[in-house]
Amino acid sequence: MTIIEASLGKTPVDLLVTNVQLANVLTGEIYPADIAVYGAKIVAVEPPGTQPQRKAGQVLDGGGQLLVPGLIDSHLHIESSLVTPAPFAEAVLRRGITTVAEDPHEIANATGLPGVKHFLEASRDLPLTILFLASTCVPAAKGLEHCRGELGPEEIRKMLGWEGVIGLAEVMDARAVVDEDPHMSAILQAGRDAGGVIEGHNPMLTGRELQASPSRYIEKLRLGVTVQLQERYMNREVIEAIKALPQPLPSLCLVTDDVAPDYLESYGHLDHVLKQAIELGLPPMQALQAATINPARRLRLFDRGAIAPGRRADLVLVDSLPSFNVSTTISGGEIVVENGQTLWRVPPNQPELDPLRNSLDLSPLSVEDFRINFPGDGSQAEVRVIISHPHGTTTEEGRAVVQLKDGQPQIDETDLALIGVFARGEIGQSLGFIQGLGLQKGALATTHAHDSHNLMVIGRDDQSMATAANAVIGMEGGMAVSVDNEVLARVPLPIAGIISDSPMPAVAYQWGRLTGVLADLGVKHPFLLMRLTTFTLPVSTGLRITDMGYVRAAERELVPLLVG
């Protein structure tokens, strides 16, 4: 038997999908069709009843629903959902996502190239196609932080030779590209030599500035740049600017980037981004194209992204485009979700990831580790503070005068909190202040802290900070919230200190409970995971903090705590 014989109806196909309305992302049409599948491939797309004698191992009656290509997310970090690849696959397949492009720079920073290899191995042989991009900025800001992993040109070339690695992930250090930094130039040359995709990133245009400047999207589109649009930067003004262009955009992709576990369970993944785009006014077919054929072309995956003969049989049955409620997901010709229920089950464990456990190398901390001792006998000191904005993940540099008692800052009557970073392996630590977070009392500790994933602790008092920090150290990674000596909520993340080994629903519950406790303590934000875990990201905007101290992101320089 051959695929051509199956296409011509001379031999039975494995699956015949009937009674559906086919969404053709190649032409923008929707019409009734029968779809024949042989192995992992679509072999025929025909008007209903064209071959009434066609035999099939299985017939799927679509009940008049809409059949769309499997969704493709061209930029994400699985680690941000706090789970390993298998439970992640189970969660997103139910949402109609069948292919993702993973940038593993969280794992890379925490564990280096060996850790990335283990993570890649754990991503194989799943119903979800997980492709990898080689992380280009590990560490994110060399010389301004310590991290366990470092990927230079040699490591990048090695990774590009692995099966399933299709190019270079987001080049966050735009300045190094423009300045033709030799290190970055060698990494980019490795990507060009491998013939893969190269993904850019503009670190200095984020948050409110980006949301208020839809013309920036249009400028990039006019220059031939693929715009990957995520939910938190979508609004009606941006969508209207896109709609005003004279024709649909093949270079617009919808992506998720980072999705917290409770958000994924409650609202969805790329399917939710698609629905939000439609709700904001993007034409439904154009939104679907931006989540299927456009990312397929962007990633050079010419075997998928549309429902046509010869393409991979990644198919999804939904009730309609605006609502996009998934009933059935077919991945590579196999029905993996039926009537909203997953037919494929997550393996009980992924032994490939066992080497990534016990990765912190941190001893327990004491209250003294969270005390800033100012020199001299003054009654006050002027300090730099990280100002956290309430709606985005941006920060700025501020100043505050703190009162001193025996050389210790007194912050009880202020809106300041202490923030500390402790490097894995105990090779660096720093303390500073943060303002605008809303924390009234207690502390939060986490080893999921972009991008180096050292231990970050934020708190109103040293005892709460020590309690939360030691809870995380005792779990070999994770998140904890405490008040005084009591731990109120925790999320164990024993895999590389950034990922759970539990199923998605359990992790979503743990994270949801932790965010609820934080809300009771005054910390609220629509994208709380990213807000809390990017204060340590030195390539973002404003003032950040690493284990080496405060970092001015724009200038890429360390600045002292004390002013003057």
Closest CA relative to residue 456, chosen from 489, 482, 479, 483 = 479
Summarize the confidence of residues 29-42 as an average pLDDT. 97
Closest CA relative to residue 136, chosen from 100, 186, 178, 99 = 186
Summarize the confidence of residues 154-162 as an average pLDDT. 97
Instruction: Identify the residue with better confidence: 88 or 3.
Output: 88
Does 144 score more than 90 pLDDT?
yes
User: What are the backbone angles phi and psi of residue 271, rounded to the nearest 5°?
Assistant: -60, -35
Residues 14 and 35 sit within 8 Å (Cβ to Cβ): no
Summarize the confidence of residues 396-406 as an average pLDDT. 94
Residues 2 and 32 sit within 8 Å (Cβ to Cβ): no
Per-chain mean pLDDT for the chain: 91
* pLDDT score recorded for residue 68: 99
Cβ neighbours of 240 (radius 10 Å): 13
* pLDDT score recorded for residue 202: 63
Give the whole-angstrom CA distance, residue 518 versus residue 482: 10
- In the chain, how long is the greatest CA-to-CA distance? 94
Give the whole-angstrom CA distance, residue 207 versus residue 113: 31
Summarize the confidence of residues 4-33 as an average pLDDT. 94
Summarize the confidence of residues 560-564 as an average pLDDT. 92
* pLDDT score recorded for residue 223: 65
Does 56 score more than 50 pLDDT?
yes
- Which residues are CB-contacts of 71 (< 8 A; sequence separation ≥ 6)? 95, 96, 97, 98, 99, 270, 271, 274, 291, 292, 316
Helix, strand or coil for residue 71? strand
Lowest mean pLDDT across 217-231, 372-386, 445-459: 217-231
| Residue 203's pLDDT band (cuts 50, 70, 90) | very low
- Which percentage of the chain shows pLDDT scores above 70? 96
Q: What is the CA radius of gyration of the chain?
A: 25
Instruction: Write the DSSP symbol of residue 484.
Output: T
Does 403 score more than 90 pLDDT?
yes
Instruction: Identify the residue with better confidence: 173 or 101.
Output: 101
Does 172 score more than 60 pLDDT?
yes
- Which percentage of the chain shows pLDDT scores above 90? 74
Which tokens in the block code for residue 506?
A: 């359990």
* pLDDT score recorded for residue 207: 44
Q: Is the pTM of this model over 0.75?
A: yes
Helices (H), 182-303: 182-194, 207-211, 214-222, 236-243, 261-266, 270-279, 284-289, 293-298
290-300: pLDDT as tens digits: 999 999 999 99
| Residue 231's pLDDT band (cuts 50, 70, 90) | confident
Residues 270 and 316 sit within 8 Å (Cβ to Cβ): no
Summarize the confidence of residues 466-483 as an average pLDDT. 98
* pLDDT score recorded for residue 211: 42
Does 443 score more than 60 pLDDT?
yes
- Which residues are CB-contacts of 229 (< 8 A; sequence separation ≥ 6)? 217, 238, 252, 253, 254, 255, 277, 290
* pLDDT score recorded for residue 530: 86
* pLDDT score recorded for residue 218: 60
Give the whole-angstrom CA distance, residue 562 versus residue 564: 6
| Residue 456's pLDDT band (cuts 50, 70, 90) | very high
Instruction: Write the DSSP symbol of residue 225.
Output: P
Whether residue 451 has a cis bond before it, omega within 30° of 0: yes
Summarize the confidence of residues 108-125 as an average pLDDT. 95
Which tokens in the block code for residue 3?
A: 């695929």
Which tokens in the block code for residue 141?
A: 């800001």
Give the whole-angstrom CA distance, residue 135 versus residue 168: 6
Which tokens in the block code for residue 522?
A: 């005054």
Summarize the confidence of residues 448-452 as an average pLDDT. 94
Does 212 score more than 50 pLDDT?
no
Lowest mean pLDDT across 346-350, 357-361, 457-461: 346-350
**Sign (positive or negative) of CA dihedral 113, 115, 118, 123:** negative
Summarize the confidence of residues 133-145 as an average pLDDT. 91
* pLDDT score recorded for residue 216: 56
* pLDDT score recorded for residue 206: 45
In the beta sheet, which residues pair with residue 483?
486
Give the whole-angstrom CA distance, residue 73 versus residue 240: 23
- Residues of the chain within CATH 3.20.20.140 domain(s) are 68-341
Summarize the confidence of residues 69-87 as an average pLDDT. 97
Does 35 score more than 50 pLDDT?
yes
Instruction: Identify the residue with better confidence: 357 or 10.
Output: 357
* pLDDT score recorded for residue 187: 92
Residues 221 and 215 sit within 8 Å (Cβ to Cβ): no
Q: What is the dotted CATH code of the domain comprising 68-341? A: 3.20.20.140
278-281, long-range: CB within 8 Å, 24+ apart, which pairs? 278/321, 278/322, 279/322, 280/234, 280/235, 280/236, 280/238, 280/239, 281/236, 281/239, 281/240, 281/243
